[in-house]
């Protein structure tokens, strides 16, 4: 397994504790393997943290939620 920085792992764990509404809704379906494959939630991959990752299929799903809104434009 590739080396993962402790800071990235810690941040991913913190993010798992407080998911966005969009992440929570999608995880409800993905966690029960309704798609036929296993997904991981907030998986550190290199210097990035993928919202959802299916490693055997080499698939990453990024969910844009309220965390990506531009507060200055509102």
Residue ranges of domains in the chain: 6-63
The answer to whether the pTM exceeds 0.75 is no
pLDDT digits (tens, 9 = 90+) for 3-50: 667 788 788 878 878 888 888 888 888 888 877 889 999 888 888 889
Write 19-28 long-range contacts (CB < 8 A, 24+): 20/63, 20/65, 20/66, 20/67, 21/65, 21/66, 22/63, 22/64, 22/65, 22/66, 23/51, 23/63, 23/65, 26/52, 26/61, 26/63, 27/52
């Amino acid at each position: 397994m590739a080396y993962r920085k402790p800071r990235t792992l810690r941040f991913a764990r913190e993010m798992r504790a407080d998911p966005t509404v969009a992440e929570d809704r999608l995880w409800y379906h993905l966690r029960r393997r309704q798609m036929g494959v296993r997904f991981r939630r907030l998986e550190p991959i290199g210097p990035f943290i993928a919202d959802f990752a299916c490693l055997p299929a080499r698939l990453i799903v990024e969910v844009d939620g309220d965390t990506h809104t531009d507060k200055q434009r509102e």
